[in-house]
């Protein structure tokens, strides 16, 4: 509907223009007659002597000229009625070139609209492509980061307490027995550690550890070591007499082992790794004051304390 209205408006404009062109040549004639009437009246006045009385009779033929001119000027509808109206001019006086120009102008409008639509579509497609490319780059970056994290997690060194071994010893001088405690650390990763340090503390207490205990470090000098892939490292050992072990069995004493292992893995840009632990001697089977044999299978069981156990 908009294109048809546009063509109708163009045709109407051309019709009105043709009518104006048809009327334009007649306007100078009317203006010329209006200009000639005063000139003729002036000539008639100058040609007759001023003293002759028949001048009034000579002026008589000139006098009607002015009303005639005024009638023609004041009554233009007589010529307008003779000229073709705008409907006739619109349908019959429009030239072929005018129609072609109107059609060409309409085609230019349609072409402009089509080009604008195509440009909007191209801009929208470019924005969509940029968004998809950005999203793909983000997904690729995340995938690469996930793959790198998976590689590090699967291959890096990871230290943890694997077991706590106990050995029975007898003093030849006194004949009394005592036990040595040996925490065993293991590296479950496929790569070695760098700058490994292990700290271990032993405490025999009269009461259980309170909540929020700060687990102080051992004051012994740290000896840097290394744990290879899938290897084990023994920490500094502790000692527990048979009397203390009997007190733990009877519930009069409480025995704890805690400490930490700090190290770096071989991957660049990773933070320092820390593993902390705290174990409690929770059960003793057998007689701590007697030798271990088939009749006295002494066993000590350690369990994790409620606090100070984590790794990163």
Q: Is 170 helix (H, G, I), strand (E, B) or coil?
A: strand
Q: Using DSSP bridges, classify how beta strands 254-264 and 238-241 pair: parallel, antiparallel or unpaired.
A: unpaired
Lowest mean pLDDT among 157-166, 236-245, 292-301: 292-301
Res 7 pLDDT > 50: yes
Residue 89 DSSP class: H
Give, rounded to a whole angstrom, the gap between the first and last alpha carbons of the chain: 73
Structure confidence at residue 84 (pLDDT): 54
Lowest mean pLDDT among 18-22, 175-179, 256-260: 18-22
The C-alpha torsion from 10 through 14 and 19 to 25, rounded to 10°, is 150
Res 296 pLDDT > 90: no
Query: How buried is residue 17: exposed, middle or buried, by Cβ count under 10 Å (0-12/13-18/19+)?
Result: middle
Task: Answer positive or negative: Cα dihedral of 202, 208, 212, 213.
Answer: negative
Res 290 pLDDT > 60: yes
Q: Using DSSP bridges, classify how beta strands 254-264 and 194-205 pair: parallel, antiparallel or unpaired.
A: antiparallel
Res 196 pLDDT > 80: yes
Tokens at residue 150, please?
């998976």
Estimate the crossing angle of helix 2-23 against helix 96-155, to 10 degrees. Answer: 150
- 0.75 surpassed by pTM: no
Q: Is 296 helix (H, G, I), strand (E, B) or coil?
A: strand
Q: What is the mean pLDDT of residues 194-218?
A: 94
Q: What is the mean pLDDT of residues 301-308?
A: 95
Q: Could you tell me which residues come within 8 angstroms of residue 289 by beta carbon, excluding any fewer than 6 positions away?
A: 176, 177, 242, 243, 246
Confidence of residue 23 (pLDDT cuts 50, 70, 90): low
Structure confidence at residue 58 (pLDDT): 43
| 184 vs 178: CA distance, rounded Å | 20
Lowest mean pLDDT among 99-103, 108-112, 277-281: 99-103
Q: Using DSSP bridges, classify how beta strands 254-264 and 273-285 pair: parallel, antiparallel or unpaired.
A: antiparallel
SS3 content of the chain, % helix, strand, coil (to 5): 45, 25, 30
Selection from 262, 204, 212 nearest residue 233 by Cα? 262
Structure confidence at residue 175 (pLDDT): 82
Selection from 257, 259, 237, 232 nearest residue 158 by Cα? 232
Do 248 and 255 form a contact (C-beta atoms < 8 A)?
Answer: yes
């Amino acid at each position: 509907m908009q294109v048809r209205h546009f063509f109708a408006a163009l045709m109407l404009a051309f019709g009105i223009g043709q009518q104006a062109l048809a009327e334009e040549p007649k306007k100078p004639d009317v203006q010329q007659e209006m200009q000639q009437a005063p000139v003729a009246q002036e000539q008639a006045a100058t040609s007759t002597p001023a003293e002759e009385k028949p001048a009034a009779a000579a002026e008589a033929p000139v006098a009607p000229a002015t009303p005639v001119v005024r009638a023609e000027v004041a009554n233009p509808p007589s010529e307008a009625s003779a000229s073709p109206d705008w409907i006739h001019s619109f349908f019959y006086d429009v030239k072929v070139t005018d129609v072609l120009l109107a059609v060409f102008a309409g085609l230019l409008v349609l072409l402009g609209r089509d080009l604008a639509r195509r440009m909007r579509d191209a801009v929208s497609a470019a924005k969509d492509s940029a968004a998809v490319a950005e999203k793909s780059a983000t997904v690729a970056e995340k995938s690469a980061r996930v793959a790198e994290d998976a590689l590090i997690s699967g291959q890096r060194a990871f230290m943890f307490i694997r077991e706590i071994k106990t050995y029975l010893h007898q003093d030849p001088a006194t004949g009394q027995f005592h036990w040595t405690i040996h925490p065993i650390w293991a590296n479950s990763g496929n790569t070695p550690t760098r700058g490994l340090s292990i700290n271990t503390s032993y405490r025999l207490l009269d009461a259980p550890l309170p909540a929020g205990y700060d687990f102080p470090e051992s004051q012994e000098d740290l000896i840097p070591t290394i744990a290879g892939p899938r290897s084990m490292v023994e920490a500094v050992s502790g000692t527990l007499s048979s009397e203390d072990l009997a007190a733990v069995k009877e519930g009069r004493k409480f025995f704890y082992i805690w400490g930490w292992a700090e190290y770096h893995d071989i991957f660049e840009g990773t933070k320092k790794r820390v593993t902390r632990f705290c174990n409690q001697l929770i059960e003793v089977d057998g007689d701590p004051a007697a030798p271990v044999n088939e009749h006295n299978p002494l066993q000590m069981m350690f369990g994790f304390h409620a606090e100070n156990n984590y790794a990163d």
